[in-house]
Structure 1
């Protein structure tokens, strides 16, 4: 009797490969993962020791949320190759809460905990919105996700935001060398080493940067080997209604962005996301945010660069991201190792970032290629206007400056603007499908993806 074939998403690779591929995922997300604690710590004028603890707590919680999302626990978990990290959508609201003289860090944690609980409760209702995302909407949103994030990779290549030596030709040269290295390996190397092309490119770039004297290990000797992440390290959380309302709004924005990410990774690996799967994934966004508040960190969502990495490598196994989650937990508990990983310069990540974010964009374009653009001219309007709206925050970060400050989480997310525009225009021009039709469409897309892959 023949055994049923195992889907590539569920394939368990040898331990050595799992570790190497998992480490690759960690390296490409690390800069983004630690950026939010650094920004919040600086804005709230926390001490160096406190910021270091925030980073360790963040990595630890990242790992836990990733394990729940990839392995799946009860009604939680997408069970697809996803890496979880702190959402940048929450940065501005959290700084506003933390720097308010009447509030502070503990109010951020209180609002984070409550918004996470609310997120878990409302996830099934958000999941019912899947029928609002036919291919013309999904493809447009995923394209905007990739294009919006391309700026991150470009800024990495130039040295990173706030770098006084931004645009140094050395940075640009190393970033370009990393890009060429990745492309060379992708074209001429086969087997396992082709799957870790991004990791090899980053290691190559780090070696070049080290030889050029551009890698700093300052502070490594003073960093402890072991750090225990304790819940409520800064004290018991406080609960302010306005802060809670603000972070709940962030949670809703995160859900919309996550929906696009989940649909993208489902398309890439050939296992399309239906309503039930989407709800399980969104619940982890809520649970991860709850865990973040308890362990002294912030709201969590899926990281787009890792979605792009899945597209680049073609490795679809969720167990690779399970390995990545375990590595993140280890980094959170061993600060000295985390310090070494953090020493990889941002300009080294730049070349890899351009590849990965470009792959997200390419996935969106691939989905749009299945949309009827010849007979249905309205689809062109949906795509054109939605992408235009999504590019507003990218092209002009001051475009909405004269509008109420409270609307910032909504208006400064190009992904959200594109999503809302695409959904509304599609409803106007094409009407809304029933949930059954939406699920049938998702299954058909899965068959096409399996054939393509």
Structure 2
């Protein structure tokens, strides 16, 4: 058992081993569906076999775990050393599918490696731009992240997009039951149990779902017990200029998203992030992205749902999330374990996801409470950025006739909202207009 020293900052606390394991597993279950979604979508779009898609998923879980360990534990100037769970970014899905169908999967990996290296090089410069990310911007971005993720949870609650039983009353009832169970445990259970309320909801919800036919574990034994991702399994990377440019755009979007998550987690954990530590976190993302290109997976970023889980549980230990990273590594090395986790019904994840994603939005609102809204400019920054960020969430196909580079940025409500918040903050709070000059004269 590890003891907790009162003098130790919450971020650096070591909890008892049992709590560390349960809380780490809770983080894994919270992000698992999102973690495997990117390789599943890309592999399916490229017409890959089930075996190759399974290989992509295992590689993704392995590097997600390694990426999380780098971010939480850190070494030298890599890793922000905060409780941040890492996974493949959804911002890369559309351009990767386009690149893969045009030039093959090796062109995806070439572009991923180059963009990761460029992220490492740009991280120190990005860290110096921290003054352009005040609570006005970060609070807006985190609120957009939470609101943009809510539809994901609702789709899970309905049974998952494409499910034959999508929207069935049974799916929604199961999701509601999990949601209520999480709330009851959070409100009435002892502190040690309330911290893992999401885990309790997911486990008990899955157990209840089995006899009602929501899931089936019978095929788990067919999965291979052990497997490891070999570098360049699908061939040596190729380097296409257009593909690299598209992935660099994704990298800039990812850096903006990660910046919001890092600043939010640092704020809620009581360890505000300065420019140097922000650069360390982004540098870790760059290294993880390079590893993704080498080990047959994709670009990496911090996951917003896990930031919400940190806020919900109020457990800020980076070692807890590092344990989650270790579990991901094990899942990546032992596909049979991943098969077990993959059989958690979508409605169960949906019920828990509504709580977690709503918590992300609430954290953003809490950050915005520090903003002085007597300044009408600040009000406009938040109002317009929320509107722009929720456009692709409300109307997913609105940008389908626009160029791919534009869609890469704007079809992600998170990146669209973040870009809007940064630009409008510059306009209203950093660029002196004619009226301001006259007032100060």
TM-score range, shorter chain: over 0.9
1:22 aligns with 2:24: yes
C-alpha separation between the residues in 1 aligned to 2:147 and 2:52?
A: 35
8 Å contact 2:249–2:405 — kept in the other structure?
no
8 Å contact 2:389–2:416 — kept in the other structure?
yes
C-alpha separation between the residues in 1 aligned to 2:134 and 2:282?
A: 19
Task: Please report how far the alpha carbon of residue 349 of structure 1 lies from its aligned counterpart in structure 2 after TM superposition.
Answer: 0.5
Query: What do residues 410-453 of structure 1 show as CA deviations (whole Å, max 9, x unaligned)?
Result: 111222222222222222222279xxxxxxxxxxxxxxxxxxxx
Q: Indicate the SS of the match to 1:398.
A: coil
Q: Which residue of the partner structure matches residue 43 of structure 1?
A: 45
8 Å contact 1:28–1:349 — kept in the other structure?
yes
Which residue among 92, 95, 98 is the counterpart of 1:93?
95
Q: For 1:101-116, what aligned pairs fall within 5 Å after superposition?
A: 103-116=103-116
8 Å contact 2:39–2:53 — kept in the other structure?
yes
The runs of at least 4 aligned residues of structure 1 exceeding 3 Å deviation read none
Q: Which residue of the partner structure matches residue 437 of structure 1?
A: none
Q: Which residue of the partner structure matches residue 398 of structure 1?
A: 397
Which runs of 5 or more structure 1 residues have no equivalent in the other structure?
434-453
C-alpha separation between the residues in 2 aligned to 1:33 and 1:204?
A: 22
C-alpha separation between the residues in 1 aligned to 2:37 and 2:175?
A: 20
Q: For 1:218-297, what aligned pairs fall within 5 Å after superposition?
A: 219-297=219-297
Q: Indicate the SS of the match to 2:301.
A: strand
Q: Which residue of the partner structure matches residue 31 of structure 1?
A: 33
C-alpha separation between the residues in 2 aligned to 1:65 and 1:22?
A: 15
C-alpha separation between the residues in 2 aligned to 1:367 and 1:406?
A: 31
Task: Please report how far the alpha carbon of residue 220 of structure 1 lies from its aligned counterpart in structure 2 after TM superposition.
Answer: 1.7
Deviates more, 1:348-357 or 1:120-129: 120-129
C-alpha separation between the residues in 2 aligned to 1:383 and 1:201?
A: 34
8 Å contact 1:132–1:432 — kept in the other structure?
no
C-alpha separation between the residues in 2 aligned to 1:337 and 1:404?
A: 41
C-alpha separation between the residues in 1 aligned to 2:332 and 2:418?
A: 34
8 Å contact 2:198–2:352 — kept in the other structure?
yes
Q: Which residue of the partner structure matches residue 196 of structure 2?
A: 196
1:60 aligns with 2:62: yes
Task: Please report how far the alpha carbon of residue 232 of structure 1 lies from its aligned counterpart in structure 2 after TM superposition.
Answer: 1.2
Task: Please report how far the alpha carbon of residue 231 of structure 1 lies from its aligned counterpart in structure 2 after TM superposition.
Answer: 1.1
C-alpha separation between the residues in 2 aligned to 1:265 and 1:253?
A: 19
Q: TM-score by structure 2 length? A: 0.95
Q: Which residue of the partner structure matches residue 419 of structure 1?
A: 418
8 Å contact 1:85–1:301 — kept in the other structure?
yes
C-alpha separation between the residues in 1 aligned to 2:284 and 2:234?
A: 24
C-alpha separation between the residues in 1 aligned to 2:219 and 2:51?
A: 12
Task: Please report how far the alpha carbon of residue 386 of structure 1 lies from its aligned counterpart in structure 2 after TM superposition.
Answer: 1.3
1:135 aligns with 2:117: no
1:149 aligns with 2:149: yes
Q: Indicate the SS of the match to 1:99.
A: helix
Q: Which residue of the partner structure matches residue 438 of structure 2?
A: none
C-alpha separation between the residues in 2 aligned to 1:398 and 1:307?
A: 28
Aligned residues: 428
Task: Please report how far the alpha carbon of residue 340 of structure 1 lies from its aligned counterpart in structure 2 after TM superposition.
Answer: 0.4
C-alpha separation between the residues in 1 aligned to 2:412 and 2:128?
A: 22
C-alpha separation between the residues in 2 aligned to 1:268 and 1:432?
A: 30
C-alpha separation between the residues in 2 aligned to 1:81 and 1:37?
A: 24
C-alpha separation between the residues in 2 aligned to 1:432 and 1:128?
A: 18
C-alpha separation between the residues in 1 aligned to 2:264 and 2:413?
A: 17
1:315 aligns with 2:307: no
8 Å contact 1:56–1:335 — kept in the other structure?
yes
C-alpha separation between the residues in 2 aligned to 1:72 and 1:11?
A: 15
Task: Please report how far the alpha carbon of residue 345 of structure 1 lies from its aligned counterpart in structure 2 after TM superposition.
Answer: 1.0
Change (3 A) 1:191 1:408: same
Q: Which residue of the partner structure matches residue 377 of structure 2?
A: 378
Q: Indicate the SS of the match to 1:391.
A: helix
